[in-house]
Amino acid sequence: MQALWEYRRWFLMLTDEQLGAYPELVCGLIQILIIDGELDRAYQLTESLPKDSIYQIKTKMMLPGIDEDERMRVMRLIRERNWGGTGQVLTGGRPSVINGIWDITPYYEDILQEKETIKDSLRLLYPDNWSLIYDIARAEVMYQQNDCYNALVLVVSTIPYLKEQQDMRILFAALALEMFILVLNGQASTSEALITNLQQQIREKNLEAYLPNVAAMTAWAAMYDGDYAKVARWMREAAPDEFGRFCMLDLFRYMVKMRAYIIQGKYLAVTSLAGRLQPLLEKGGRQKDLCELHLIWAMSEHGAGRTEEALEHLGRALELSERYRYDRLIADEAQRIYILLKLYRRRFGKSPYLDSVLVMTEKAAAIHPKYLKSQLPEKPALTETELRILRLVADCKTNAEIAEISEIAVETAKRHCKNIFAKLEVKNRHQAVQRAIELGILEPGVLG
């Protein structure tokens, strides 16, 4: 999928005539549209393929958010026509099997109870390593339901076999889960060796497209260790740019970046990115990602002093978590969510599920006292002239208008703006105003 994304401009140039003649190209374009978040057009193009052809059926297996009855019908057709075993996309480069290109987390109970339907589907689609995929999926479910020890034992037992098969896509998810479990149980120092090993294997298999997610995993682990210099370096050098071309392959990285924004006190930036992600996740039926998004949003709103909004987002996260059992997803946010959970219980009362998650979260908070601690940067020293020009930028004035109002040359106005951007560590005017609001240089409400 990463390779398709790199060649997206060629696919987007295809004419209707060319797409009509080559259904393989339509399948590629649909994958690009999924990555781009253009789900409506992806659904439309899928329906334009020959009905129940191998092209349409295989494409429907990748579509997020399709009706469950339709998905089961598609699976039956694949089985009847023996169309399995052709390398269906599984993780999409993300560090998870059950939350990769598909979000199959709503089937937690089926996975744990070894339902034959799940196993039959895996046998059909991944005949060479279906049992290993099943074990990793089961370990991911066990971890979410707080069975950390058995989850670790199970995933570690699969890794040697995955190395033998040299399937880096699945091995990546297995090694990531091992690292997550170790980090979240207070052993963040062990993650460096795991990440180094992972990077080496990725390079050996020429899968450099996975490296950005590995870098994000490194920054995420550093948050639990309180190594905020490492987080800041990742933000400067490797974090995804949500103001550029949006890419759903970067979803894991966006989640890590929003946590980094919370550390830096950039709460408006969290709102901006979360607001962009929410409709895409809802349309794609990505329940686990929605739960995580609302948790991050709740922590951000609480940090910004908007308690009611924070409790609203936390309520949505709890609803999803209780329904699908994303227990550790909540507990692993440690102290910030623990404080919010106690506020939520005082406001809305006790419940057995809320009480159980509170116990888990309290333990996580004790293990990770440094996690997501605010590291607010000092306000940059802007001159009086730069402050005046920054206010004009916030009023949406052009360089020519700034020059006229300030009685300076246009080139001088441009130079002042460039200096302001450098001091605020931003790339454009919109970001400069947003950053100035977050740092308290400008009053909220000035951003047009």
258 band by pLDDT with thresholds 50, 70 and 90: very high
What's the DSSP call for residue 147?
-
**Residue 138 pLDDT exceeds 80:** yes
* pLDDT score recorded for residue 444: 58
Q: How high is the pLDDT of residue 377?
A: 59
Higher-pLDDT residue of 28 and 107 is 28
Residue 239 CA to residue 260 CA, distance in Å, equals 10
Query: Which pTM value belongs to this model?
Result: 0.80
pLDDT at 29 over 50: yes
- Tokens linked to 328: 């550790």
The model's pLDDT over 183-224, given as tens digits with 9 standing for 90+, comes to: 888 876 777 777 888 888 888 877 788 889 999 999 999 999
Among the ranges 20-34, 83-97, 176-190, 290-304, which has the highest mean pLDDT value?
A: 290-304
In tens, the pLDDT along 331-377 reads 999 999 999 999 999 999 999 999 999 999 999 999 999 999 877 55
Res. 248 pLDDT band, cuts 50 70 90: confident
pLDDT band at 448; cut points 50, 70, 90: very low
Contacts of 125 (CB under 8 A, 6+ apart): 61, 78, 84, 85, 88
Residue 285 in contact with residue 103, Cβ under 8 Å? yes
Taking residues 25-54, report their average pLDDT: 91
Q: Cβ(150)–Cβ(142) under 8 Å?
A: yes
Residues 6+ positions from 195 with CB-CB distance below 8 Å: 179, 214, 217, 218, 221
Percent of the chain with pLDDT over 70: 96
pLDDT digits (tens, 9 = 90+) for 369-418: 999 987 755 667 789 899 999 999 998 999 999 999 999 999 999 999 99
For residue 241, give the nearest of 96, 117, 378, 426 by alpha carbon: 426
pLDDT at 326 over 60: yes
Query: What is the predicted pLDDT for the residue at 86?
Result: 55
Residues 137/173, Cβ–Cβ less than 8 Å: no
Say which residue the tokens 């699908």 belong to.
324
Q: What is the mean pLDDT of residues 123-133?
A: 85
What is the DSSP secondary-structure string of 209-232? GGHHHHHHHHHHHHHHHT-HHHHH
CA distances from 268 to 69, 242, 254, 316, 328 (A): 40, 13, 15, 20, 26
Chain centroid, CA 373 distance in Å: 21
Question: What is the model's pLDDT at position 312?
Answer: 97
Torsion region of 126: left, alpha or beta (phi above 0 gives left; psi -120 to 50 gives alpha): beta
- Report the chain's mean pLDDT, rounded to a whole number: 88
| Candidate from 295-299, 304-308, 381-385, 395-399 with smallest mean pLDDT | 381-385
**Which span out of 77-91, 99-113, 262-276 was modeled with the highest average pLDDT?**
262-276
In sequence order, what are the residues at sequence separation of 6 or more whose Cβ sits closer than 8 angstroms to the Cβ of residue 187?
none
Cβ-Cβ contacts under 8 Å for 231 (sequence gap 6 or more): 219, 222, 223, 260, 263
